[in-house]
Structure 1
């Protein structure tokens, strides 16, 4: 979606972390024609890293991926598959407790649920690990009043995920099959506002497709993870609705690279992509809540080695 815009601006995010954003767009999305400073000129290289990397691995932002017999898990570095799987199951459960993931060796939410981080946001009364009404809560209890991570929210709010599944089964031509994590009322209560904010499902010729809108994308760490997560969600919903996975379309609002990710991404860019793996669901699952981690088998995933990148918090 940024094709042809090769000039870049360097900016900082709301916590002062340096990143690069598309030239011609300010952080608020307005046009700008500021002259490039020397450091901004250097940022052109980062844009080339961004596009060459994802085009090379066949998953360019804003582009369409046909699942066919493959699963879009990047191969130019090892993507944390266990983290993708366990986090998605955690979303589906409606959990907002980062400790549940951490106990399984998935530490991706630890920093946002830490005592220091929660205190810095004014959430001193919360238990450590309580992230507030983030993704899973919005998926399963949209509109419910959030109390804490241990409360029982059964029957409260709108179960968007189940509504999506029911609509796919009963009215697959509906143009309103949408799952949305962006709830303005709850944003002040969240440890982290949703980055992958909204997805829409579409059924045609017995295939289920998904389009994800992501307001903010950390291209080094987050986006490869998000691609796999929503591809997996599409596989799961297709399985329980009797459909085949179709297309995955990924749209990014603010695609950025943190400065400390540039060199690792250059390393990644030198690597030759390998064939995507295949994903198998090992048993017939009837409902979305019945999926377990052991139901999935990733076959033929032979990526290049892990590339270490620090997560921005």
Structure 2
């Protein structure tokens, strides 16, 4: 077993063995631990989980969405990425413009009621088509407000100005790599009440030593089965991309999680995953002709040697 995969598998086991049962915002219920850290050596291979297939292109398009400062799911849907659909869909079905069947608590009801799930899928298909084809509809219901892209690239100041945190931190790495202020934050108390989903990965910090770039993420809350594998790969990719732009090698990705939880309706899936033998990690290939992370497109990022076990499906708690 690769060290990177064992770190994740140990987290799953730790929560099952030592977690506390808690209620949560979604009504699903979780098993949770507070305060957990993993350290991935990015020179050991790209840390994408192999005990189930993780759709890497979705990770790439989501990260590029953040990097571009975009907050509208239209870009994601154009890349067949449905990760953020439910939060935008919720805005639509709670609006005066929505005239379809009642979608209250659609996240739970779609799992429990096959007839309702059929209605939900029909309305979601209508919603996605409208986002892609109707610019006014996309502007009204596709934008998620002050989520990661906005906070990374357009942080609002008390003076009515904006700060491009991501661009600034890259410039700082190049100019003063020994700085202890190489930080990007997404957590803004003022914006929490109006965000579709207040930032889970709240703050990340870079560190340069021996000509290598490392990154530490503080994540306030993590869905360990569905979300955490994405987060590990996303921040590992971000570290590789920034290291490439800055002419550095890669060091470690350190993942610190506040509330690390397993949803009660993911337990069977996790037991299946824990029964599988991990495989060799893939390697990451970037288009080295791109010299700025802001110029990358989805096809500029690819993996070699990714041979995972089959996908394990599980519902998203909304």
**TM-score normalised by length of structure 2:** 0.78
Displacement of 1:103 in angstroms is: 2.1
2:281/2:305 contact within 8 Å kept: yes
Partner of 1:306: 311
Cα shift readout 1:254-279 (whole Å, capped 9, x = no counterpart):
00000110000100001000010000
Partner of 1:262: 267
Displacement of 1:144 in angstroms is: 5.7
Partner of 1:43: none
Quote the Cα distance in structure 2 between the aligned partners of 1:132 and 1:174. 31
Cα shift readout 1:154-205 (whole Å, capped 9, x = no counterpart):
x951000001100000000000100111111111221011011110000000
RCO higher in 1 or 2 (8 Å CA, sep ≥ 6)?
2
Quote the Cα distance in structure 1 between the aligned partners of 2:81 and 2:167. 26
Displacement of 1:288 in angstroms is: 2.0
Quote the Cα distance in structure 2 between the aligned partners of 1:143 and 1:123. 30
1:239/1:285 contact within 8 Å kept: no
Quote the Cα distance in structure 1 between the aligned partners of 2:20 and 2:316. 21
Q: Secondary structure at the match of 1:215?
A: strand
Quote the Cα distance in structure 2 between the aligned partners of 1:190 and 1:4. 29
Partner of 2:53: 78
Displacement of 1:127 in angstroms is: 1.4
Displacement of 1:284 in angstroms is: 2.5
Displacement of 1:283 in angstroms is: 2.5
- Select between 129-138 and 10-19 the one with higher mean Cα deviation: 10-19
Structure 1: which 5+ residue stretches go unaligned?
30-60, 146-154
Determine whether 1:87 maps to 2:62. Answer: yes
1:165/1:237 contact within 8 Å kept: yes
2:92/2:141 contact within 8 Å kept: yes
Displacement of 1:12 in angstroms is: 1.3
- How many residue pairs match? The answer is 267
Q: Secondary structure at the match of 2:57?
A: helix
Partner of 2:149: 136
Change (3 A) 1:168 1:272: same
Q: CA RMSD in A?
A: 2.5
Quote the Cα distance in structure 2 between the aligned partners of 1:247 and 1:123. 48
Displacement of 1:253 in angstroms is: 0.2
1:71/1:278 contact within 8 Å kept: yes
In the TM superposition, what are the counterparts of 1:1-313 in structure 2 within 5 Å?
A: 6-22=17-33, 62-114=37-89, 116-117=90-91, 120=94, 127-143=140-156, 156-313=161-318
Q: Secondary structure at the match of 2:253?
A: strand
Cα shift readout 1:117-161 (whole Å, capped 9, x = no counterpart):
45659999971211011000000011169xxxxxxxxx9510000
Quote the Cα distance in structure 2 between the aligned partners of 1:297 and 1:4. 32
Partner of 1:148: none
1:196/1:216 contact within 8 Å kept: yes
Change (3 A) 1:62 1:248: same
Query: Which structure dedicates a bigger proportion of its chain to helix?
Result: 2
1:112/1:118 contact within 8 Å kept: no
Cα shift readout 1:220-260 (whole Å, capped 9, x = no counterpart):
10000000000000000000000011101000000000011
Quote the Cα distance in structure 1 between the aligned partners of 2:170 and 2:206. 10
Quote the Cα distance in structure 2 between the aligned partners of 1:119 and 1:208. 44
Quote the Cα distance in structure 2 between the aligned partners of 1:203 and 1:122. 51
1:99/1:110 contact within 8 Å kept: no
Change (3 A) 1:205 1:7: closer
Q: Secondary structure at the match of 1:201?
A: strand
